[in-house]
Amino acid sequence: MVASRSARERKAGVEAGPLARVVVDVDRTTAFVYKISCTTCTAKGDKAWSAYRLGGDNGYLAAMDRWTFHLVEKHPGTEAPCLTYLADAQQRLHERREG
């Protein structure tokens, strides 16, 4: 059975750790869109920093990878389950850059 939107939201929220706020939306193609924002960082114009990329890949892995890099870069020393997969995230980033 496919996990519900709210169940996915809870699971991703646990993975992303205490600094993250996770919202899962369903887009027009009924794909799940992960929006992970930071509770302490603000981007341009007072908006919270977010891993969401308009028109980009916002599936679970892509969003969680961006969030993982944000934690490493801006919040060193923070503990979050997703950091367990940092090496995998770096490998995926490398593969995307290679094309």
Residues that bind Zn ion in the complex, under the rule CB under 5 A: 38, 41, 74
Residue closest to 50 by CA, chosen among 30, 34, 36: 36
User: Considering the complex, what minimum distance in angstroms separates the CB of residue 37 from Zn ion?
Assistant: 9
C-beta of 74 vs 96, nearer to Zn ion:
74
What is the longest distance spanned by two Cα atoms in the chain?
41
Token pair of 23, please?
């919202």
C-beta of 62 vs 71, nearer to Zn ion:
71
C-beta of 45 vs 99, nearer to Zn ion:
45
Token pair of 59, please?
């599936």
User: Considering the complex, what minimum distance in angstroms separates the CB of residue 78 from Zn ion?
Assistant: 9
User: Considering the complex, what minimum distance in angstroms separates the CB of residue 46 from Zn ion?
Assistant: 14
Distance CA(22)–CA(20), nearest Å, equals 6
